[in-house]
Amino acid sequence: METFNNSKPILLFLLLPCLLLYSLIAFNSSSVEAAMHTNNWAVLVCTSRFWFNYRHMANTLSLYRTVKRLGIPDERIILMLADDMACNTRNKYPAQVFNNENHRLNLYGDNVEVDYRGYEVTVENFLRVLTGRHETAVPRSKRLLSDEGSHILLYMTGHGGDEFLKFQDSEELQSHDLADAVKQMKEKHRFKELLIMVDTCQAATLFNQLQSPGVLAIGSSMKGENSYSHHLDSDVGVSVVDRFTYYTLAFFERLNIYDNASLSSSFSSYNPSLLMSTAYYRKDLYKRNLEEVPVTNFFGSVMETIHTDAAYKALSRINSGRFEAQTSLDQSVHHIEKRMPMKVNDQEETHNIIPEGEEGASKCPWSTFWNKFRKGENVDTLVNYGLVAMIPLLVISTWLVQ
Amino acid sequence: MEKLKKKIRSFSFWNWVIASIIFRLILIYFPNNLNLSSRPEVSTPLTSFRRLSEGYWLKQLSMSPYAGSMYHGSPLLLSLLGPLTVKRIEGQPNHLLYSLVSVIADVVSAMLIRATGQNLQVAYFGTLKSFDLVKQIEGSEVHSPGDVAALIYLCNPFTIVACMGLSTSPIENMAVILCLYGACSRLIPLAAFGWVIATHMSLYPAILIIPVIFLLGRGPDAPPRKLFLQMHQEKGVLNQSKLPPCFSWGPIIHFAFWALLWSVYVLVLCGISLKQFGGLWEMFKSTYGFILTVEDLSPNIGVLWYFFAEVFEFFWNFFLIVFHANILFMILPLAIRLHHRPCYLAYVAVCSMLKSYPSVGDSALYSGLLGWFVNELSDMQFSLFLFCGYVGVSPLSPVMHNLWIWRGTGNANFYFATTMVYACLQIVLVVEGVSAMLNHDRKLRSLITGKPRDAKS
């Protein structure tokens, strides 16, 4: 009887952390935007093939070069090209692709990694890349492995029209397909922010149907307008670059990885008279002020580093029952490989964000010590104390027995 | 005159000790410790320094130290020696602190060997006195076993190489010697501690339980008990106080208690430090399991790597049992025959022929312990052959390794030949040692009873 009376405050005691945990979970599920920006991805798509669409490939390769220059590595770039220009029999400069008639830059230079080439650039593959729904045999380099902290740049160029984009002269991607894919991406937390840049005729119609928050879109021309090429290279024999991309590059060539020029300055650098079309951007779905967003948020890879003194803790270190059962070597490596965000991961993140003082409901030093011990922070010191204590114990015992 | 002799002897002993310490310190300052830690003879998967630092690094990254099957030692060693593997002092050679720890371990082992040897010497003289044989041996050269053994241990090139090769064998040897010292001097907690730590670090010192039981029950080496009875029968004097004590079980129980206590302590510490990485079962699998199953077949100074490379997997279990039981089967009959000489039994146990991963650190240990019996084994046959054999094998083994691995003009058989010779030498040493010891007992008996008996070799 006594123990039952004593157990009532203990029950209340136990309820408090449960309530706290529940509130944490509730808080967490409502604020996914609390996810930090952790990585940048770029999906660059050239939807045309054949020699006379040289400029589309040059557009894409120019963006590829810019994005790499500003810091996004090849593992984070999905490049989809028909890739039939550089080694085309009609190319006077074999294995070279230029975007300017001064031939200053060879875009097809040292390390161009094309992920989808030739006939693999299809609407189906494009949508699979965006939504992440691949066959099991598709290699990692062909997947968009973004998570809820990713900023993605999606650049598309080719021939388009009112609410469609032509893929390789045989298929078309419609605006509602794109909006659908983006909606799926949002549901699956595959991006934090998405910038869609389209350089085709009547580009702005392609993102008419978008509804997902966190998406910023800019197109080279509005409904009823064409996007024009910039100039013809008489040596190569075709137009080598489109106007919109040309002026985009003119903006970016002045930048390096440390500049924090804002997106609004980029967007306002387009002159309609020079473009011969109106570059229209859509920012109703994007909550942040464009003046504050640096271009390197999408076009480069500059991130905030947080310095901690603690040793790096591998993924499965938080003490929940399932993880403790799986901490042999194979599983821990497997966990690092699996990049699906799991519930416990979110809990981990919120644990990091919320200060420690709110965690333990009890102020008893023993329980905080036991909590710390369970988390494994004091293990090493405990073992060291144990080892050091062995020696006086030995000495005393030997002396006593004598 | 006697005092002067003794003084000279003790003075030269300390001279040698200091000279060996200085030699080791000089060797530390050679670049990269002369690359000794990469020699297969010195660093085995159990004692390698690189594996220790890898285990420590993995631990620092909050991963299991046994991940990747690199480190196979005790987690307590990681906490003790791990920080030393990374500590760098400006302007000093790398791993200076670790080498100093090895040197200190060597010196402590030598001092303990000396103390145990003195114990043995006191016991030896005591028995000789009780047999009234002191006059007969006073003329001949009687060396102090403690000094000789300690000097052999310190100045043995194998020990120096093991120390400079940054292996963990100096510390393992120190634990074994601590156990034997405690057992000889009747310091039971110390003996239990040494035994537990030695078994924890490598599996084979567990066999020392048998000599330690005899040491604690009966006392250090003495001629067989029936000799005393025979002598008293002959001389007709029955002086109970001069008889060696009967086998007493009290110290054994005491030892068992302390061994249990220390093992629980050590296992609890290991369990705490490995709590997140699979706990004690993981540790046993990676340390004892690794030793018993001989997973790593990289060449070393033993013979098991070659053997298991050519045996079909189907027969592995059988041969593993045969090899590991060999050590047991060797000790048990010897325990019956030599139960009155437990220190010698301990020496044979330490030899541990056909170990999974032997290294020169093991040979350092048993060569050192051989020095305790320098008086009893003075008439050992083949002593020159064995000495020359060891001297010959030691440089040949690195040469054959070089021919095989680096130049490619030899093959594994070259290296295996030297390891086979080494194993043969070990076996011959043990066999001849045992027969020499039995001969010594027979001689004592003939001296006491006055009846000459044929010395069987």
Of residues A37, A103, A134, A159, which has the active-site annotation?
A: A159
d(CA B43, CA A296): 52
Residues of B in Cβ contact (< 8 Å) with A390? 193, 265
- Inform me whether the C-beta atom of residue B104 falls under 8 Å from chain A C-beta atoms: no
pLDDT (0 to 100) of residue A401: 78
Write the pLDDT tens digit of every residue in B303-328.
Answer: 999 999 999 989 999 999 999 998 88
Grade residue A377 by pLDDT with cuts at 50, 70 and 90: low
pLDDT of A174 higher than 60: yes
Residue B189 to residue A376, Cβ atoms within 8 A: no
Question: Is B285 near chain A, with CB under 8 Å?
Answer: no
Do the Cβ atoms of B159 and B394 come closer than 8 Å? no
The question of whether A159 is a catalytic residue gets the answer: yes
Indicate whether A118 pLDDT > 60: yes
Which residue, among B276, B282, B283, would best test binding to A if mutated, counting the most A CBs under 10 Å from its CB?
B276
Q: How far is A75 from chain B (nearest CA, A)?
A: 25
Place of tokens 């930048």: A255
Q: Which residue of A has its CA nearest to B192?
A: A394
Contact criterion met (CB < 8 Å) for A311 and B60: yes
Contact at CB, A380 and B79, closer than 8 angstroms: yes
Q: Do A383 and B80 touch (CB under 8 A)?
A: no
- Give me the residue from B62, B189, B269 closest to A394, CB to CB: B189
Contact A317 B62 (CB under 8 A): yes
Report d(CA B302, CA B43) in Å as an integer: 12
Do A312 and B62 lie within an 8 Å CB cutoff? yes
Quote the minimal CA–CA distance from A8 to chain B in Å: 33
pLDDT of residue B6: 62
Compute the radius of gyration of chain B from its Cα atoms: 23
d(CA A129, CA A132): 5
Give A143 to chain B, closest Cα distance, Å.
Answer: 29
Cβ-defined contact of B273 to A379 (cutoff 8 Å): yes
More confident residue, A5 or B137: B137
The answer to whether the Cβ–Cβ distance between A387 and B189 falls below 8 Å is no
B187 CB neighbours in chain A (<8 A) are 398, 401-402
Yes or no, beta carbons of A328 and B278 under 8 Å apart: yes
Chain B CB contacts of A384 under 8 Å are 79
Q: Give the Cβ contact number of residue A208 at 10 Å.
A: 16
Confidence of residue A287 (pLDDT cuts 50, 70, 90): confident
Mean pLDDT (whole number) for A2-13: 49
Q: Is the dihedral of CA B439, B442, B448, B453 positive or negative?
A: negative
More confident residue, A171 or A312: A171
Please say whether the beta carbons of A167 and A177 come within 8 A.
no
Which chain B residues contact residue A388 at CB under 8 A?
A: none
Q: Is the pLDDT of residue A22 over 70?
A: no
Question: Which residue is closest to A385 within chain B, CA to CA?
Answer: B269
| pLDDT on residue A194 | 93
3 state SS of A39: strand
Amino acid code (one letter) for A104? R
From A56, A151, A201, A230, active-site residue: A201
**pLDDT exceeds cutoff 50 at A317:** no
Cα–Cα distance measured from residue A183 to residue B248, given in angstroms and rounded to the nearest whole number: 84
Say whether A329 and B68 touch across the interface (CB within 8 A): yes
Chain A positions touching B67 (Cβ under 8 A) are 329
- Other residues' Cβ atoms within 10 Å of the Cβ of residue B208: 26
pLDDT tens, position by position, A39-77: 899 999 999 999 999 999 999 999 999 999 898 999 999
CA distances from A70 to A309, A368, A402 (A): 29, 46, 75
Strands (E), B95-169: none
- Mutation for A interface: B57, B59, B62, B280, most A CBs within 10 A: B62
Given an 8 Å threshold on Cβ–Cβ distance, is B62 in contact with A329? no
Residues B79, A382: C-beta atoms closer than 8 Å? no
| E strands in A47-175 | 77-81, 116-117, 150-157, 159-161, 164-167, 171-174
CB-CB neighbors (< 8 A) of B80 in chain A: 387
- Chain A CA closest to residue B183: A398
Tokens for B147? Answer: 């000094």
> Looking at the partner chain, which of A311, A376, A397 has a beta carbon nearest the beta carbon of B61?
A311
A interface with B, Cβ–Cβ < 8 A, is 311-314, 317, 324, 327-329, 332, 376, 379-380, 382-384, 386-387, 390, 394, 397-398, 401-402
The mean per-residue pLDDT over the stretch A91-106 comes to 90
Instruction: Supply the mean pLDDT for chain B.
Output: 86
Given B64, B190, B277, which is nearest A394 (Cβ)? B190
Taking the Cβ of residue B267 and every Cβ of chain A, the question of whether any pair is shorter than 8 Å is answered with: no
The chain A residue lying nearest B281, using CA atoms, is A328
Average pLDDT value for chain A: 79
Rounded to 5°, the CA angle B96-B101-B105 comes to 145
From chain B, the residues in CB contact with A332 under 8 A are 63
Our CA-based measurement puts residue A282 at a distance from the nearest CA of chain B, in whole angstroms, of 46
Cα–Cα distance for residue pair A223/A202, rounded to 1 Å? 5
Looking at the complex, does the CB of residue B76 fall below 8 Å from at least one CB of chain A? yes
What is the DSSP code string of B62-114?
Answer: TS-TTGGG---S-HHHHHHHHHHHH---TTS-TTHHHHHHHHHHHHHHHHHHH
pLDDT of chain B, 457 residues: tens digit per residue? 566 666 656 668 889 999 999 999 988 887 766 678 888 888 899 988 889 989 999 888 888 889 888 899 899 988 888 888 888 777 777 788 888 999 999 999 999 999 999 999 888 888 888 777 766 666 566 778 899 999 999 999 999 999 988 889 999 999 999 999 999 998 999 999 999 999 999 899 999 999 999 988 888 877 777 777 777 776 665 555 555 567 788 889 999 999 999 999 999 999 888 888 877 888 999 999 999 998 888 899 999 999 999 999 899 999 999 999 988 888 999 999 888 888 899 999 998 888 889 999 999 999 999 999 988 888 888 989 999 999 999 999 999 999 999 898 989 999 999 999 999 999 999 999 999 999 988 888 888 777 554 545 4
Instruction: Answer yes or no: is the ipTM higher than 0.85.
Output: no
Average confidence (pLDDT) over A11-22: 52
Q: Is B105:B232 a contact under the CB 8 Å cutoff?
A: no
